[in-house]
């Protein structure tokens, strides 16, 4: 008789459980990782109920406010809600579910949100035995891994979340930006004239070649056979993908990086005041004199025009046959490289603190003046919520600096209005020359100095939105791999 009573009680217990005794499972939260103050964004949450009950949801926005419970939804149906943060900062969003019997789930894991473009997401970890001031412009591979050189003579690789993958030691300072070949090989140069081919997975050296050059500051361009073209203080070099020097032209030299157009023609500025066009065998197609050193690296428009700045402050646009299309003086000196927006407009910065926008016809549209100097080349992101281009560039000692040793990252709308700003540490006696790089998720990567108090800096990952602008030349070296080549 006892076993019958026990069976009856167990049955009642199982019946209670099956009739709503279990709470909803813990929900998950998805949404943007970066938001902008006073701009609404959508967040979603979803879970299931073991008993198949309808579910209501609520959000905790991480700023002291919580949403009301939603209307009842079927188990497994996602709930989406928009929310607007008004203040810059970091917030941690979580969600909770409640079934129709009033049972509540555990709170979800936090979803981190950074509100404010330009806020620091992470910086390069600094070892006790060296500091890592980064002058080179980062490169990004197809997996989102980042590669950057530093003046202590290393090439570093990091994941998109800031974890170090490897570090390669070169012979001397690495000012030139790393580039990524079609097979994933990393090419890097140091100021001792060495060119290195590195395994992207672990940073081991595949080959190296010493060009004999006294200095390499320019960034290599990668041809369609993964050969590289590199300007140096002692001439222009072509090196094949096995590390053999194919040719050298001593009369073309300097810090201007080579650009390659869609027809495989090379363009490069020289310290002798000429802009050269060559074929891949090193034969000169034409040269155009500007009468002053060219440090600026050329950019190529969709119709084949060649744009570049000159040390005397003039900005030039040449036709592909070397005839002058337009030139105008916009500053005292230009060493940065132009970039091209989604609508084919052209942006270039000057050493005396000015960003200028030109129309496709070469007409000057507007200028944005900083109180800084030694501006980087711009980078252009297409931000969908604003539905226009955002132009990023860095100024040394600009008005956005938070301390005396910090640089400014400016963010300017396509109409010339300042949109947002960020700060980048600079504590080197020399100017940090790194230009911004835009990741596939909109994150902005840029090199800088080291904060002596916090030991933070080197490589900065800053909050950004949108995607890289889909123009012919939206970055210093055309694309995220820094190839310097029109696709």
Question: Would you list the DSSP string of 173-233?
Answer: ---SPPEE-TTS-EEEE-TTSEEEEE-TTT--EEEEEE---S---SPPEE-TTS-EEEEET
Which position has the token pair 């100017």? 431
10-residue stretch averages of pLDDT, the chain, 487 residues long:
46 46 94 90 96 96 97 97 94 97 96 91 70 88 96 94 94 96 97 97 97 94 97 97 97 97 97 97 97 96 96 96 96 96 96 94 94 88 79 77 64 90 68 87 89 76 90 96 94
Supply the pLDDT for residue 422. 81
On the 0-12 / 13-18 / 19+ scale of CB atoms within 10 A, 348 is: buried
Helix (H) or strand (E) holding 314: strand 314-318
Supply the pLDDT for residue 449. 78
Supply the pLDDT for residue 4. 45
Q: State residue 485 phi and psi, 5-degree precision.
A: -135, 135
Supply the pLDDT for residue 399. 57
Supply the pLDDT for residue 6. 46
Class of domain 120-468: mainly beta
> In whole angstroms, what is the distance from residue 326 CA to residue 338 CA?
14
Give the pair of three-digit tokens for residue 454. 């916090």
Supply the pLDDT for residue 367. 96
Count of helix runs (H) and strand runs (E) in the chain:
1, 40
**E strands, 87-163, where?**
89-99, 111-115, 120-124, 139-140, 146-150, 154-158
Enumerate the domain spans of the chain. 2-115, 120-468
Q: Is the distance from CB of 105 to CB of 23 less than 8 angstroms?
A: yes
Which residues, in sequence order, are CB contacts of 82 under 8 Å at separation 6+? 40, 41, 42, 43
Superfamily covering domain 2-115: Immunoglobulins (2.60.40.10)
């Amino acid at each position: 008789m006892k076993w019958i009573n026990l069976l009856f009680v167990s049955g009642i217990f199982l019946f209670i459980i099956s009739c709503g005794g279990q709470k909803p499972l813990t929900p998950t939260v998805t949404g943007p990782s970066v938001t902008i103050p006073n701009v609404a964004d959508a967040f979603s949450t979803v879970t299931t109920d073991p008993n198949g009950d309808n579910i209501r949801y609520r959000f905790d926005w991480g700023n002291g406010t919580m949403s009301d419970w939603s209307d009842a939804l079927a188990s497994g149906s996602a709930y989406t809600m928009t929310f607007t943060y008004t203040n810059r900062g970091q917030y941690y969003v979580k969600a909770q579910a409640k079934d129709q019997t009033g049972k509540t789930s555990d709170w979800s894991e936090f979803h981190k949100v950074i509100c404010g473009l330009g806020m620091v997401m992470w910086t390069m970890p600094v070892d006790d035995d060296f500091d890592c001031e980064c002058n080179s412009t980062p490169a990004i591979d197809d997996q989102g891994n980042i590669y950057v050189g530093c003046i202590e003579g290393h090439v570093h690789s990091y994941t998109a979340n800031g974890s170090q993958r490897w570090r390669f030691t070169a012979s001397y300072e690495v000012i030139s930006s790393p580039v990524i070949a079609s097979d994933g090989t990393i090419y890097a140069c140091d100021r001792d004239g060495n060119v290195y081919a590195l395994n992207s997975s672990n940073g081991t050296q595949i080959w190296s070649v010493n060009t004999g050059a006294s200095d390499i500051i320019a960034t290599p361009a990668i041809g369609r056979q993964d050969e590289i073209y590199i300007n140096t203080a002692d001439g222009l070099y072509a090196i094949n993908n096995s590390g053999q020097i194919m040719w050298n032209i001593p009369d073309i030299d300097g810090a201007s990086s080579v650009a390659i157009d869609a027809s495989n023609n090379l363009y490069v500025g020289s310290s002798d005041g000429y802009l050269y066009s060559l074929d891949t065998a090193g034969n000169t197609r034409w040269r155009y004199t500007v009468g002053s050193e060219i440090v600026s690296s050329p950019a190529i428009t969709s119709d084949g025009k060649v744009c570049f700045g000159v040390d005397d402050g003039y900005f030039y646009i040449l036709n592909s046959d070397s005839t002058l299309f337009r030139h105008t003086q916009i500053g005292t000196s230009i060493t940065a490289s132009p970039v091209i927006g989604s609508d084919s407009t052209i942006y270039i910065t000057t050493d005396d603190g000015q960003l200028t926008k030109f129309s496709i016809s070469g007409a000057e549209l507007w200028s944005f003046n900083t109180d800084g100097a030694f501006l980087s080349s711009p980078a252009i992101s297409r931000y969908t919520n604003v539905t226009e281009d955002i132009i990023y560039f860095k100024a040394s000692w600009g008005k956005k600096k938070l301390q005396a040793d910090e640089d400014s990252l400016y963010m300017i709308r396509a109409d010339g209005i300042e949109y947002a700003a960020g700060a980048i540490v600079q504590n080197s006696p020399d100017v940090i020359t790194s230009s911004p790089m835009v990741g596939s998720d909109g994150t902005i990567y840029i090199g800088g100095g080291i904060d002596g108090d916090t030991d933070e800096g080197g490589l900065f990952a800053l909050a950004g939105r949108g995607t890289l602008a889909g123009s012919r030349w939206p970055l210093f070296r055309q694309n995220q791999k820094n190839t310097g080549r029109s696709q």
